[in-house]
Amino acid sequence: MKKVAPFRCRDPGLECDYEMEAEGEEELMKRVEGHVMTAHQMDVHKEEIRKKILGAMR
């Protein structure tokens, strides 16, 4: 698997110091979704939120 660029909450505009890396987009998305749902109370199933997360991962 290829290493995915780290996700940083600040990249999509959140005021949070959370950063995460993973091997593969799917694994990174799982980890980030958990954080975004619990720490920011955001619905990661909404297309707008998913696009912001994916955009910040690249």
Domain boundaries, the chain: 7-57
> Which residue has better confidence, 3 or 17?
17
Contact status, residue 24 vs residue 2, Cβ threshold 8 Å: yes
CA distances from 30 to 22, 45 (A): 10, 12
Neighbours of 32 (CB within 10 A): 22
In this predicted structure, what is the pLDDT of residue 24?
Answer: 85
Neighbours of 36 (CB within 10 A): 23
Average pLDDT over residues 46-50: 94
Neighbours of 57 (CB within 10 A): 20
In this predicted structure, what is the pLDDT of residue 36?
Answer: 96
Collapsing DSSP to helix, strand or coil, 19 comes out as strand
User: Tell me: the pLDDT tens digits for 6-45?
Assistant: 899 999 999 999 999 988 888 999 999 999 999 999 999 9
